[in-house]
């Protein structure tokens, strides 16, 4: 049954349009969109939702859910207003481009009852869920180190727009590969625990931007685990991969390869942990929205909350500081234990179920 409260979507770029499309596909019709003007959207019909250009008018409608899809540097004002009305909020990542005011905002959210979910949609990907469960079961023994890579070619990511005008390419809008491709930092935290320090090199290599388009990071987690992360906007092929080496085996995942495999040293062979069949990445966004609705209905806690978002943001900012100073940078953390996985199982199509 569709959620009966109003959903306010702020920003109608590619991610805002995706959320509206998915809400409509789920049967929801009580949707308002706050944007700077009422021009026709790129992929939607204008009569499928209510367009509002005045923020005061949008928040006066007292939406039950607020989805923030504006450029990173513009998150704080609508997030603060959403917290003040006690809404359930989905904020696209990163949470912000600086930490100013975020601890006070967390305190205010506790007072108003607002629940804030960070838009780490890949936490709903069945491959990543399976990897986390395998690590929790000890399938490869103690995890010793991980290696993660994400890369894409920024000029062709959104072919309908000049990439140099997009927020990913602009320092004033909170861009750069470290913050706008922050999912891997969240993965590292989700899989291996709080991040204690970061050593990094981040450079503008290909496009003459005022933000970095290549970054290489080494994280040391509070429990001693080491994570290596490589991010870039320059490689011509899309890449997202993860490898975890443990005392008793290795886990590997290539997102476009549609499988997770695990090396069993006793048998000296690889076996499939998960094999997906043409998995549609949009399913992660649908599952994220369903989780958000359950959060709004007070049936679940946010899978990745404000405290988590702040910690991951601090790790990203530590990487930038490390690159600027040439030194390892420690990351402050005051995290509570992680909430459990949502009670539902993400929809999937696979030959082998998540173990």
pLDDT tens digits, one per residue of 64-88: 999 999 999 999 999 999 999 999 9
Assess whether pLDDT exceeds 60 at residue 349: no
What pLDDT is stored for residue 340 in this prediction? 54
- From the list 282, 297, 349, the residue with the least C-alpha distance to 2 is 297
What pLDDT is stored for residue 352 in this prediction? 31
- From the list 318, 168, 186, the residue with the least C-alpha distance to 232 is 168
Mean pLDDT of the chain: 92
Phi, psi of 93 (to 5 degrees): -90, 155
Q: How many CA atoms lie within 13 A of 77 on its CB side?
A: 9
What pLDDT is stored for residue 354 in this prediction? 31
Residue by residue, DSSP assigns 287-326 as: HHHHHHHHHHTTSS--SS-HHHHHHHHHHHHHHHHHHHHT
CB 177 within 8 A of CB 214: yes
Q: Tens of pLDDT along 94-138?
A: 999 999 999 999 999 999 999 999 999 999 999 999 999 999 999
Domains delineated in the chain: 7-121 (3.40.50.720), 125-280+305-352 (3.30.360.10)
Q: Considering the chain, what percentage of its residues have pLDDT values greater than 70? A: 93
What pLDDT is stored for residue 350 in this prediction? 34
Phi, psi of 253 (to 5 degrees): -140, 130
């Amino acid at each position: 049954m569709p959620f009966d409260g109003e959903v306010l979507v702020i920003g109608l770029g590619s991610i805002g349009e995706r959320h509206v499309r998915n809400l409509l596909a789920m049967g929801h019709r009580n949707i308002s969109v706050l944007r700077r003007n009422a021009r026709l959207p790129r992929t939607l019909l204008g009569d499928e939702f209510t367009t509002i250009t005045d923020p005061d008018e949008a928040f006066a409608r007292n939406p039950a859910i607020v989805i923030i899809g504006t450029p990173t540097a513009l998150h704080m004002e609508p997030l603060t207003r959403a917290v003040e009305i006690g809404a359930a909020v989905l904020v696209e990542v990163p949470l912000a481009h600086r930490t100013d005011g975020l601890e006070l905002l967390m305190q205010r959210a506790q007072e108003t009852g607002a629940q804030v979910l960070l838009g780490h949609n890949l936490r709903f990907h069945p491959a990543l869920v399976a990897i986390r469960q395998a690590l929790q079961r000890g399938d490869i023994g103690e995890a010793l180190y991980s290696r993660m890579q994400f890369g894409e070619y920024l000029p062709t990511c959104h072919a309908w727009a000049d990439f140099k005008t997009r927020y990913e390419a602009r320092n004033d809008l909170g861009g750069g590969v470290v913050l706008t491709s922050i999912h891997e930092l969240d993965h590292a935290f989700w899989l291996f625990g709080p991040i204690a320090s970061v050593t990094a090199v981040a450079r503008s290599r290909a496009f003459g931007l005022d933000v970095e388009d290549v970054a290489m990071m080494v994280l040391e987690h509070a429990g001693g685990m080491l994570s290596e992360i490589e991010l870039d906007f320059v490689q011509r092929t899309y890449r997202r991969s993860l490898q975890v080496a443990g005392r008793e085996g290795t886990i590997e995942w290539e997102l476009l390869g549609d499988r997770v495999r695990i090396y069993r040293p006793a048998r000296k062979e690889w076996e499939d942990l998960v094999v997906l069949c043409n998995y549609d990445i949009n399913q992660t966004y649908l599952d994220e929205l369903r989780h958000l609705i359950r959060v709004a209905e007070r049936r679940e806690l946010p899978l990745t909350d404000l405290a988590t978002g702040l910690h991951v943001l601090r790790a990203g900012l530590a990487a930038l500081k490390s690159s600027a100073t040439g030194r390892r940078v420690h990351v402050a953390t005051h995290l509570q234990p992680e909430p459990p996985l949502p009670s539902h199982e993400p929809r999937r199509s696979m030959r082998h179920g998540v173990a």
